[in-house]
Amino acid sequence: MDYPLDLWFCISEYISPEVVVKFACLCQATRYITTTVQFWLSLFRRHYQWTAALPESLSYWNIDRRMRDVRVCVIRALFLMYPPFCARLAAEKPLSADPTQLLRAQCILQWHRKEGSHHKYFFKFAHPQHCSRDGRLAKCVGEAPAHTNPHSGCWVLEATGAGVYAVPMVMGEHLYHAGVGVSANLCSHTLRLALVPPHLLPSSSRAPTRRHRVPATEITLDPVTNVRLYPWWHPEYWNVLQISDSGDKDDW
């Protein structure tokens, strides 16, 4: 049975952020609704917290101006003011990140910053398949401007160490191997990354990942006190990118 689109729009007024995906998967009508500016603005206004520390661009008075990327802005704002999402971020623990999520992703930016007595190393990765998928979506959906997201499929890997490490230039290369392990002294942790040029990357993710068979650029950060992963919707993702653009860093 096909229900009128207006009925689905009325129901969407009661959808919580956690179940947006389930709502979109009900039928083509609900999928269409989640691509509209109206849906995302309604979701934002229902859960807006006046006491939340939001960037000026995500404030209640400016969100209406972000028509082309309103979905991205609303999701970012929810992770800054919606209690269940804020609790999820607060529960993140040091050294709990899994860098294998970035396998086969391309490193498109890297930088280093000294913070007090520690040194932080940043690598921005992009999953090409995610970016191309969003591009195809934008061509198929009538309200595509609401879904504009140049950061789709992007992550920032942050590693904190006590010293300065010799890190080679790997921008443009793809992550072939990654892991966080225990140092040889069993008292600290180590981050190991191996990256290869595009023509050396196995054609399939199911191909054997034997590092000794592929000449890769090895990066070893030992010891590290923390390893974090920030997807595009994470508040820290935008904070570290703003620092990288400000010039307050050492570029490689």
Around Cβ 251, how many Cβ atoms within 10 Å?
9
Q: Note the pTM of the prediction, 2 decimals.
A: 0.82
Token code pair at residue 21: 């995906």
Question: Tokens 């023509």 identify what position?
Answer: 199
Q: Contact 104/175 with Cβ under 8 angstroms?
A: yes
Angular region, 59: left φ>0, alpha ψ -120 to 50, beta rest: beta
> What is the model's pLDDT at position 212?
53
Count structural domains, the chain. 2
Residue 28 and residue 145 share a domain: no
Token code pair at residue 119: 């040194």
Cα–Cα distance measured from residue 249 to residue 33, given in angstroms and rounded to the nearest whole number: 42
Residue after which a domain boundary falls, among 37, 59, 90 = 90
Cα–Cα distance measured from residue 142 to residue 6, given in angstroms and rounded to the nearest whole number: 17
> What is the model's pLDDT at position 145?
57
The continuous run of DSSP H or E covering 180 comes out as strand 174-182
> What is the model's pLDDT at position 226?
92
> What is the model's pLDDT at position 122?
96
> What is the model's pLDDT at position 208?
57
Around Cβ 55, how many Cβ atoms within 10 Å?
15
Token code pair at residue 79: 């992770």
Residue after which a domain boundary falls, among 90, 107, 141 = 90
Residue 131 and residue 247 share a domain: yes
Cα–Cα distance measured from residue 29 to residue 4, given in angstroms and rounded to the nearest whole number: 9
Residue 45 and residue 78 share a domain: yes
Q: Give the three-class secondary structure for 76.
A: helix
Residue 58 and residue 108 share a domain: no
Identity at 244, one-letter amino acid code = S
Q: Contact 86/53 with Cβ under 8 angstroms?
A: no
Residues in the chain where the model's pLDDT stays below 70: 129-146, 204-214, 244-252
> What is the model's pLDDT at position 215?
80
Angular region, 247: left φ>0, alpha ψ -120 to 50, beta rest: left
Q: Contact 141/35 with Cβ under 8 angstroms?
A: yes
Residue 131 and residue 47 share a domain: no
pLDDT tens for 181-237 read 888 777 889 999 999 998 888 776 666 555 556 688 899 998 999 999 999 999 999
- Domain hosting residue 217, numbered range: 99-251
Token code pair at residue 232: 């595009």
Token code pair at residue 197: 């040029």
Residue after which a domain boundary falls, among 34, 61, 90 = 90
